[in-house]
Amino acid sequence: MAVSVLTAEIEGTRSGLKITFTKFYGAEAELDFAIRYEGEANEALTRIDGIWINPDWSGTFFMTRDDSGAEEAVEERAEIEIRR
């Protein structure tokens, strides 16, 4: 049976805008390797561009943050709590 959703654990660091992390897939993925990612975030920390590397392949990647207004909602709640 093919697995359509894979789970993974991520371990990494950020120093300024430089980001490195390694992704370790769960047992259901049947992968015996980890994938290392190295990239740089934009100033707003909403996008990361970089490369991924595993023992046999490498390529480019980008990640974007999709808050869907979460930041505005948090700020609105904070203002309401202060007024009370």
Owning domain of residue 18: 8-83
Q: What is the distance between the alpha carbons of residues 48 and 45, in angstroms, rounded to a whole number? A: 7
Look at residue 19 and tell me if it is in a domain.
yes
Look at residue 73 and tell me if it is in a domain.
yes
* The token pair that represents 18 in the structure block: 């430089």
Sheet with 47-53, side-by-side order of all strands: 8-15, 18-25, 35-41, 47-53, 58-64
Q: Please choose, from the candidates 22, 81, 69, the residue with its C-alpha nearest in 3D space to the C-alpha of residue 50.
A: 22
Residue 10 CB burial class (10 angstroms; 0-12, 13-18, ≥19) = exposed
**What's the total number of domains in the chain?**
1
Q: What is the pLDDT of residue 70?
A: 60
pTM over 0.85: no
**What tens digit of pLDDT does each residue of 17-72 get?**
999 999 988 777 777 778 999 999 999 889 999 999 987 889 999 999 877 656 55
Look at residue 69 and tell me if it is in a domain.
yes
Q: What is the distance between the alpha carbons of residues 71 and 75, in angstroms, rounded to a whole number? A: 6
Look at residue 22 and tell me if it is in a domain.
yes
Look at residue 2 and tell me if it is in a domain.
no
